Amino acid sequence: MSSVFGKPRAGSGPPSTPLEVNLAILGRRGAGKSEDTYSSEETVDHQPVHLRVMDTADLDTPRNCERYLNWAHAFLVVYSVDSRQSFDSSSSYLELLALHAKETQRSVPALLLGNKLDMAQYRQVTKAEGVALAGRFGCLFFEVSACLDFEHVQHVFHEAVREARRELEKSPLTRPLFISEERALPHQAPLTARHGLASCTFNTLSTVSLKEMPTVAQAKLVTVKSSRAQSKRKAPTLTLLKGFKIF
């Protein structure tokens, strides 16, 4: 799989052109996903990758799913190994993704991730259960500790990129839909991208419409931001995304 990366492909432009990958992180609140939308320049198997990560913040079940279903090239479904509820939710997300794939005839890879492995003494979900759930939906499975194991978390993100890329190569003409419109709630000022990606702004989203994804120069990446999320971002939590050095 890794040999695919870093090699120029017919019709794919110069090798230095970053591969653009949208990754949506799904899961019940508290699973350790963090909560925000980020961009990051990564190198995966010697190839530059412009990775956009949309972290969602559903309370317990999937909601307002259109914002990521048609946007993502890959999904990371996260639960916490010390939370049975979060595991049950991850099952709902995988079912949702499977249904969407069936309806749209578009296969988008999903990876199942059991987080908080450092809390294994409080496990409510066995590794075998994670493996079985992933097997049911045909996705890769990992257990990690976002707090303690940066390398492994990075590996998971890179695996997601590889999976996304493989699908993109299979059907390069199938471009994902893109959430293009937003209407910020009054009194909530837009947040600017931490890494200065001019094409991204992070605002509160109240309405969405879907279009074909524009080129990156035109792109305006938005996500749902709750006021809770905005206040949370100041909290010094150790999270998956922080572990991934997107900050």
What does the binding site for ligand GTP look like in residue numbers (CB under 6 A)? 27, 29-35, 57, 115-116, 118-119, 145-147, 237-239
Q: Give the nearest distance from C-beta 35 to ligand GTP in angstroms.
A: 4
| Cβ–Cβ under 8 Å, residues 220 and 37 | no
Nearest residue to 227 via CA among 200, 198, 205, 247: 205
Residue with smaller CB distance to ligand GTP, 76 or 221: 76
Q: Give the nearest distance from C-beta 242 to ligand GTP in angstroms.
A: 8
Q: Give the nearest distance from C-beta 53 to ligand GTP in angstroms.
A: 12
Residue with smaller CB distance to ligand GTP, 121 or 215: 121
Residue with smaller CB distance to ligand GTP, 47 or 83: 83
- Closest-by-Cβ residue to ligand GTP is 32
Q: Give the nearest distance from C-beta 115 to ligand GTP in angstroms.
A: 5
Distance set, CA 152 to CA 35, 156, 177, 243, 244 (Å): 20, 6, 30, 10, 9
Residue with smaller CB distance to ligand GTP, 112 or 147: 147
Residue with smaller CB distance to ligand GTP, 203 or 239: 239
- Kindly state the DSSP code that residue 31 receives in the 8-state scheme: S
Burial of residue 2 (number of CB atoms within 10 Å: 0-12, 13-18, 19+): exposed
Distance CA 143, CA 128 (A): 11
| Cβ–Cβ under 8 Å, residues 193 and 39 | yes
Nearest residue to 180 via CA among 157, 199, 152, 159: 199
Q: Give the nearest distance from C-beta 193 to ligand GTP in angstroms.
A: 19
